[in-house]
Amino acid sequence: MTQITLRRPDDWHLHLRDGDMLQAVAPETARHFGRAIIMPNLVPPVVTGAQASAYRDRILAALPEGSAFEPLMTLYLTEDTDPEDLARAHTDGLIKAVKLYPAGATTNSASGVKNFDKVRPVLEKMAEIGCPLCVHGEVVDDDVDIFDREAVFIDRILDPLRQATPGLRVVMEHITTAQGADYARSGGKDLGATITTHHLVINRNAILAGGIKPHYYCLPVAKREEHRLALRKAATSGEACYFLGTDSAPHLDGAKLAPCGCAGCFTATNTMSILAEVFEQDCALDELEAFASLNGPAFYGLPVNAESITLTKGDPVTYPDRIQTPNGDVTVFDPMMPLHWRVS
């Protein structure tokens, strides 16, 4: 196969940031993607419907002239979230999901949830109105090894939370383990999981072997090779519970390369070429559309995009190493392999 045509893909987990960074990265996603679920972990976070509405306007203003890209907004769940404000924003069609960060789990998560009992009324309201909860699934306990934090979260937090809130629709965001893939598969129609581009490509050796590579450091951190292979199997299976959420998370190089470097890989620019390469390697190009364009809308109850994109195989395609912003550069994720599929 040297050419494939897919419904235009969507990104079900994306960080666009704000200000100069938003201006720099929004066009990178809008080039190939129809829609994206926009993460609310700004500083301060997007917690109210009014804030989500204003942020949506700033995103639309940052898009290239004529772009039809549609930002799908989310609210950042805090222990003070007002269930009625949330329900209104959802009913009005302004927000498509709510994001749960355990406090301290990742970049800009300080306002996240510490005591899960405090958000019970909000979760019940979400179950009632059918608003999905996007979960950053890692415990933050000091006694839990960082490589075990996802698997422990499933047992200690996620499974009890789902059992206590029947009907709550949950997306396990950016799963990184075989346990995550298995749990998502076993969860029925109310459970889905996003998988990033980079977790299909790198294992933890990419970060740590042969010198430390800050540009491969993200959260949840990449795990052992057996987990990467489990994610590849899940993504390329075409199964409805798995869909693309790039978690493209731009940070200035200065912040990535600091003594305490930020977590996040920036994959917005080259994701579709990388995914085509990965799916081809696994003899699963015919499942790429399910993963990138069909399963996500089905989970969120949205129509698939009307337009299509075509990927053509040829000589290696190159992407810029860096995206420029007025405050410094953002390094584009290096997949450490030649890419042959270009989006035409």
Contact positions toward ligand NCD, by CB under 6 A? 15, 41, 106-107, 136, 218-219, 247, 249, 263-264
State the nearest-atom distance from the C-beta of 331 to Zn ion, in Å. Answer: 17
State the nearest-atom distance from the C-beta of 153 to ligand NCD, in Å. Answer: 13
The token pair at 154 is 């499933």
State the nearest-atom distance from the C-beta of 247 to Zn ion, in Å. Answer: 4
| 8 A C-beta contact, residue 194 and residue 146 | no
Kindly tell me the burial class for residue 82, based on how many C-beta atoms sit within 10 Å of its own C-beta (0-12, 13-18, 19 or more): middle
State the nearest-atom distance from the C-beta of 112 to ligand NCD, in Å. Answer: 11
Q: What are phi and psi of 219, to 5 degrees?
A: -125, 140
For ligand NCD, the closer CB: 15 or 162: 15
The interface partner of residue 41, options being ligand NCD, Zn ion, none and the CB cut-off 5 to 8 Å by kind, is ligand NCD
For ligand NCD, the closer CB: 198 or 342: 198
Active site residue 247: yes
Binding site for Zn ion (CB under 5 A): 247
Answer positive or negative: Cα dihedral of 56, 60, 63, 66.
positive
The residue number whose beta carbon is nearest to Zn ion equals 247
| 8 A C-beta contact, residue 218 and residue 198 | yes
State the nearest-atom distance from the C-beta of 65 to ligand NCD, in Å. Answer: 28
**Which residues share a beta bridge with 298?**
none
The token pair at 74 is 């989310």
The owner of tokens 């050419």 is: 3
> In whole angstroms, what is the distance from residue 224 CA to residue 144 CA?
17
> In whole angstroms, what is the distance from residue 136 CA to residue 106 CA?
9
State the nearest-atom distance from the C-beta of 273 to ligand NCD, in Å. Answer: 21
The interface partner of residue 223, options being ligand NCD, Zn ion, none and the CB cut-off 5 to 8 Å by kind, is none
The interface partner of residue 52, options being Zn ion, ligand NCD, none and the CB cut-off 5 to 8 Å by kind, is none
Beta strands in the chain (DSSP E): 3-7, 11-14, 35-38, 70-76, 95-100, 133-135, 170-172, 191-195, 242-244, 308-313, 322-325, 328-331, 341-343
Catalytic residue among 18, 57, 141, 247: 247
For ligand NCD, the closer CB: 15 or 227: 15
The interface partner of residue 219, options being ligand NCD, Zn ion, none and the CB cut-off 5 to 8 Å by kind, is ligand NCD
Pairing of strands 191-195, 133-135: unpaired
Q: For residue 264, which of 25, 76, 71 has the smallest C-alpha distance? A: 25
| 8 A C-beta contact, residue 304 and residue 294 | yes
Hey, which residues are catalytic here? 247
